[in-house]
Amino acid sequence: MGAPGGSPLVELRGISKHFGEGETRVDALSEVTLEVHPGTVVGLIGPSGSGKSTLLNIIGCILEPSQGLMRLDGDVVYDGRWLRSDLRRLRLDKVGFIFQFHNLLPFLDSTENVAVVLDLAGFEAAAARARAIELLDYLEVGRRKEAMPAKLSGGEAQRVAIARALANRPRIILADEPTAALDSGRAGIVMDLLRKVAVEQAAAVLVVTHDEKVFDRLDRMFHLRDGRLDAA
């Protein structure tokens, strides 16, 4: 069992990101400093274009910062340049992604949609399937393990997507508007599941959201304004 505290799983120091140069330069992020600890669910709010998705993509090692330092799960992965050569492996090992739309593969059932991540990680087929079913049961959607995405409700599909994000046991979960397409009841269930993951698996969960109905389920909120981060 995990609990809030301990060394941060996500640590940013002076992270900035700009696009273009000269008169066309756009500063998307400016000197962002942030820590997210195990067992916590942190919200990131702000208007469209404020830099939320840019920040999430930097933490997920999809987008390279322009400057600063980033440590993930105790390892410095960026310090003025990437310090890891295989970012794909880093993402697979350390980071789970959850999106507004579940993005499940329509030709695979629930179990197969989760197991595909483990296939990429090199698991044997039987072990991948067993882990997928374990996660679906953990997220209380095991009864839908053979259902195709088109047959799932919005809340069920999002739970399968969360199971997929957890498949390789990452300790950093990045969720981009995970409840925007759900009604208030289902949104609350999804956020409660993310909290369960944070606490029981000692994970750090960072949620980008505009969804005021889930604000009370966040441990902390930060507001991005014009690329600058402030405690909300």
Residue ranges per structural domain of the chain: 10-19+27-104+171-231
Rounded distance between C-alpha atoms, residue 96 and residue 117, angstroms: 10
Closest CA to 205 of 216, 194, 217, 193: 194
pLDDT of residue 232: 62
3-state secondary structure of 157: helix
Mean pLDDT, rounded, of the chain: 88
Phi, psi at 80, each rounded to 5°: 80, -15
Q: 199: number of CA atoms within 13 Å, CB side?
A: 9
Gyration radius of the chain over CA positions: 18
pLDDT of residue 3: 44
3-state secondary structure of 18: strand
* Secondary-structure class of domain 10-19+27-104+171-231 per CATH: alpha beta
Phi, psi at 60, each rounded to 5°: -80, 5
pLDDT in tens, 113-162: 999 988 888 889 999 999 999 999 988 899 999 999 999 988 888 889 88
Q: pTM for the complete prediction?
A: 0.85
pLDDT band at 41 (very low <50, low <70, confident <90, very high): very high
